[in-house]
Structure 1
Amino acid sequence: MSQTVHPHAALPQPLSSASGPTGTGMAPGAPPLREQLAYGLGNFMPTAVTATGGMAMFFYTDVAGLSAAFIGALLLLVRIGDAVWDIGVGRRVDATRTAQGQARPYLLWCAPLLALALVASFSIPAGLGETARHAWVVIAYVALWCGYSLVQIPYQSLLPLVAPDPDHRLRMAGVSSLVQFIFVIGCAAGFPMLKDALSDGDPARGFQRAALAYAGVGLAFTWLCYAGVRERVLAPPASTRGSLGPDLRALTGNRCWRVGIAVQCVLGVLIGLPLSAGVYYFTAVVQQPQLIGPFMGLGGIGLVLGVLLSDRLTRRWCKRRVFILACAAAAVLQCGYLLPGLGAVPAVFVLGLLCNVCLGLSAPISASMNGDIADAVEHDSGRRVVGTLVATVNFASKVGAGLVSAIVGLTLSLSHYQAGAAAQSDLARHGVLALMSVIPALAALGVALLLAHAYPLDRAALQRLRDELARRRALQAAAQPHTH
């Protein structure tokens, strides 16, 4: 026996003009802690790829003996090609319908491809001619980042599918961010040490063995993530799936998506600038370049502390408000690098720690935004386009990361920074200070203003979304043919 109920009957007005209950109904039970931890384990493989990416240039030039110009062009072209590839991967996630869900199957079947590509990208077979060596690197590096997208985009799409309730999604994003930052510290510090320990006097062998170890651990953790989580959101009916055009119109016509894209782009600048400028700051201003490693390590601790504090604050206050205050505080703290006499090492380390606490505060909230925006798009258009949404957000983050390189290069050039010089001019030091202070402060202020004046998803709005989508999904489930 079946009944006919259109799953998107009585669509309400867009969120900006929605009215009705504030959403005090009971939400489904939160995913248990073991499932949240299993989801967090899925961070390891993407983190390993990005963390070891910093060693890739050195491996190809100093170990493999390839041209720096060739490798630089390759890295740039691969990142440009990411935009089209990522959209394609997001589309496949949105179109996938299996007994295991939409996103989980990619963790099972694509993680081995990424693991193999990671090992291949740090392995160049002996005896190859120059042309063959270049061809190997091109194929391996392209495969690495294609495989990265095949795992990372489904993994990020998984969060709103596993945790439909906005509050539960935020809690799960907090656990995931905590695990991720632990992985970031471990991967960034561990890979260089591991490749030295496993080299047996041959740097190439050390890189290959370290990559093999990271690939093995990453594959195991990704499969544990696959096995430990389950998708709870019912896939939309065929009538809501179609060509790219309608889905992109559903995204671009949504205010939350437009603001979210801008936030992620500017956030990429805010996060990336101190990381890129830190080495210049400790070289030209503090004049103790050996301290950059401990400074970054302490920053990682600050991120972890921020994630832990974020969980407590967002249980009491609206997460949008916490995000705004965290960015406003980051803007003030970044300007602290301009204070006279701050070159003293203890003060610099304390300031860096506090700035990273602010970034850690915002990390779980930022991670949960994809699901919130997907809910808003589904609410307004009736279309569930999580994979495509994640792909566009990832691209915005990559644009922000690309802007970091442009900003750093332009600022250093305009301030006449002399690479390798023991002493820099006052203008050069001011340029480096701007990269650590004024420019990231403006980025943080920009994020705060965008969230405060253009992003409508506060706690009450998210509760309305939760209740309305739960009602629609119940109608959708009732409309599915079934027999007794």
Structure 2
Amino acid sequence: MTRPSERTPPWRYALGMFGTSIPINLIKGSIVLLYVDILGMDVRAYAVVMTLYAVIDALDNPLLGFLSDRTRTRFGRRRPWLLLGTPLLAASMIALFTPPSWLDGSGLVIWFAVFAILSELFDSMLNANYGALLPELFPRERSRAVANALRQGFQLLALIISLALTPVLTTSVFGNEETTGGFTVTAVLYGVLAVVVLLVMTLGVHENPTYGHEERPRFLPAALQILRNGLFWSVGLTGACYGIALAIVLAGIQLYVRYTLGLSVAHAFVLQGEVIIVAAAGLAVWSRVIARIGALRAWRTAFLVLAAAFALMFFANSLLTALGAGVVLGLGWAGMMATQDLVVARVLDADAARHGTHREGLFLSAFGVFGRLNGAVTGVALASLGVLFGYNSGDDPGTRTDDAFRVYLCVYPFVLVALGAIASRFIHVPPAQPREGRDRAAVAE
């Protein structure tokens, strides 16, 4: 008898990663260039907004996950939230990249704050539910690893578009480096694409109906149990070292190319494209590494590779040397993508086995609070460039922009990833446990 949780083809679920990645990576990769460098918003205002966002996100993430876990409909627990959040994310993202031309000063900051926070809110809504489906749809680690590898492949495809191709579209095809029109057109195209893809995914997944008959979790007892879980803190904080480093890179890569390498923004297409292609090829390599040494040891190794990449990137002084460092960066990034979610999934499995309740939404959203720290940290890191190097905005860049973005893109991520590599050595997650017997029992009921 086919288990309900395995009725969804892995590729159908994985396709959703393409849809969720397109909007948020456009935001992460281009928002600093648009608002700070082109529109002239002060980096200190950017830092304040991102810190405010981090506080709001720390509150709304667990709430959204909790509401998802408690949802009971004939369409499932997660699908209604995915159908609601998809158009709202697209609309807020398009508005974020369409600031009225007459806005400046505080008005521009308010527009940025409103739609940046709304975009992240709806992104949290989508990812809390999409991420919770992975352990539910694919209870066996082997099938889970296949689904995860496929969705990371779709994410890389999305990154080729939303990161590597975007600088060409926004500054060369639909606009130029001094205007905002190209960003608006690109945002509309990406928004439509994301909505179509996410609807195809959402309407094609089959949640496990037995989970919908479990007792609805209560917020305070569930939250306290999670907060008392030592692995929640150790895995969450260590994973945040990687997440924040990645967010800094996404936010700063175009300005690194522009100021540190002294090239046009469109050249970021070459560097980002190479890193993504290497990462895509690296996923197959890391899948074999995981099969040989396990997800936990592979996770620790990926941290080390990523740290080495940032060290090499620091010494790059041309596109050619940056491309050399980018090969190592792509390999390390592939390793983190292949292992991070598997380590987290083991923590979720252990929690469900211990407490008898599947509350992946709340648990993943609580983990998401660590990830959402990247907004505040990237904002503070950007603001520090004004203090250290005199870079306050595109209108007031100072005289040391090359050093500023070398430190921003290389030194800050290296320190974070090195801390993650050290911390990961002290983390031990429960071994993978097959759940076929428990699933068969659930079907029989």
Q: TM-score, normalised by structure 2?
A: 0.81
Q: Aligned partner of 2:84: which letter?
A: W
1:92-111 deviations in whole A, cap 9, x for unaligned?
A: 11111223322122222332
Deviation at 1:130, TM superposition (A): 11
Q: Aligned partner of 2:288: which letter?
A: R
CA 1:475/1:43 → structure 2, altered by over 3 Å: closer, same or farther?
closer
Identify the residue that residue 257 of structure 1 maps to in structure 2. 232
Deviation at 1:50, TM superposition (A): 1.9
Task: Give yes or no for the alignment of 1:397 onto 2:384.
Answer: no
Identify the residue that residue 358 of structure 2 maps to in structure 1. 384
- Structure with higher Rg: it is 1
Instruction: Say which of 101, 118, 123 aligns to 1:148.
Output: 123
CA 1:75/1:35 → structure 2, altered by over 3 Å: closer, same or farther?
same
CA 1:288/1:148 → structure 2, altered by over 3 Å: closer, same or farther?
closer
Identify the residue that residue 85 of structure 1 maps to in structure 2. 60
Instruction: Say which of 210, 213, 216 aligns to 2:186.
Output: 210
Identify the residue that residue 462 of structure 1 maps to in structure 2. 432
For residues 125 and 72 of structure 1, what CA distance do their matches in structure 2 show?
A: 22
Task: Give yes or no for the alignment of 1:331 onto 2:307.
Answer: yes
For residues 238 and 222 of structure 2, what CA distance do their matches in structure 1 show?
A: 21
CA 1:69/1:334 → structure 2, altered by over 3 Å: closer, same or farther?
closer
Deviation at 1:372, TM superposition (A): 2.1
For residues 208 and 316 of structure 1, what CA distance do their matches in structure 2 show?
A: 46
Gaps of 5+ in 2: none
Identify the residue that residue 419 of structure 2 maps to in structure 1. 446
Identify the residue that residue 275 of structure 2 maps to in structure 1. 299
For residues 165 and 454 of structure 1, what CA distance do their matches in structure 2 show?
A: 22
Deviation at 1:294, TM superposition (A): 2.4
Task: Give yes or no for the alignment of 1:322 onto 2:295.
Answer: no
Identify the residue that residue 362 of structure 1 maps to in structure 2. 336
CA 1:121/1:445 → structure 2, altered by over 3 Å: closer, same or farther?
closer
Deviation at 1:227, TM superposition (A): 2.4
Q: Aligned partner of 1:299: which letter?
A: V
Identify the residue that residue 286 of structure 2 maps to in structure 1. 310
Q: Would you say the 8 A contact 1:264–1:400 is kept in 2?
A: no
1:5-404 equivalent positions in 2, closer than 5 A:
35-53=9-27, 54-56=29-31, 73-123=48-98, 140-191=115-166, 193-194=168-169, 197=173, 207-232=183-208, 234-235=210-211, 237-239=213-215, 241-275=216-250, 278=253, 292-337=268-313, 343=317, 345-404=319-378
Q: Would you say the 8 A contact 1:281–1:432 is kept in 2?
A: yes
Deviation at 1:186, TM superposition (A): 0.4
For residues 294 and 346 of structure 2, what CA distance do their matches in structure 1 show?
A: 13
Q: Would you say the 8 A contact 2:174–2:185 is kept in 1?
A: yes
Deviation at 1:378, TM superposition (A): 1.3
Q: Would you say the 8 A contact 1:276–1:408 is kept in 2?
A: no
Q: Would you say the 8 A contact 1:93–1:154 is kept in 2?
A: yes
For residues 103 and 264 of structure 1, what CA distance do their matches in structure 2 show?
A: 24
Larger CA deviation: 300-309 vs 275-284:
275-284
Q: Aligned partner of 1:157: which letter?
A: A
Q: Would you say the 8 A contact 2:278–2:327 is kept in 1?
A: yes
CA 1:413/1:253 → structure 2, altered by over 3 Å: closer, same or farther?
same
Gaps of 5+ in 1: 1-26
Q: Would you say the 8 A contact 1:272–1:404 is kept in 2?
A: yes
Q: Would you say the 8 A contact 1:107–1:226 is kept in 2?
A: yes
Q: Aligned partner of 1:334: which letter?
A: F
Q: Would you say the 8 A contact 1:331–1:444 is kept in 2?
A: yes
Q: Would you say the 8 A contact 1:255–1:455 is kept in 2?
A: no
Deviation at 1:454, TM superposition (A): 1.8
Deviation at 1:225, TM superposition (A): 0.5
Residue 462 of structure 1 aligns to a residue whose secondary structure is coil
Deviation at 1:143, TM superposition (A): 3.6
Larger CA deviation: 187-196 vs 58-67:
58-67
Q: What is the number of residues matched between the two proteins?
A: 437
Larger CA deviation: 344-353 vs 392-401:
344-353
Identity within the alignment, %: 17
Deviation at 1:388, TM superposition (A): 1.0
For residues 122 and 211 of structure 2, what CA distance do their matches in structure 1 show?
A: 25
1:335-361 deviations in whole A, cap 9, x for unaligned?
A: 34567xx64653432122112211112
Deviation at 1:296, TM superposition (A): 2.5
Q: Aligned partner of 1:43: which letter?
A: M
Deviation at 1:183, TM superposition (A): 0.5
Q: Would you say the 8 A contact 1:304–1:360 is kept in 2?
A: yes
Q: Would you say the 8 A contact 1:117–1:140 is kept in 2?
A: yes
1:265-307 deviations in whole A, cap 9, x for unaligned?
A: 1112332444556567656765556654422222222222222
For residues 108 and 314 of structure 2, what CA distance do their matches in structure 1 show?
A: 48
Q: Aligned partner of 1:353: which letter?
A: V
Q: TM-score, normalised by structure 1?
A: 0.75
For residues 362 and 174 of structure 2, what CA distance do their matches in structure 1 show?
A: 41
For residues 137 and 390 of structure 1, what CA distance do their matches in structure 2 show?
A: 27
Q: Aligned partner of 1:368: which letter?
A: L
Q: Aligned partner of 2:202: which letter?
A: Y
CA 1:331/1:412 → structure 2, altered by over 3 Å: closer, same or farther?
farther
For residues 338 and 57 of structure 1, what CA distance do their matches in structure 2 show?
A: 21
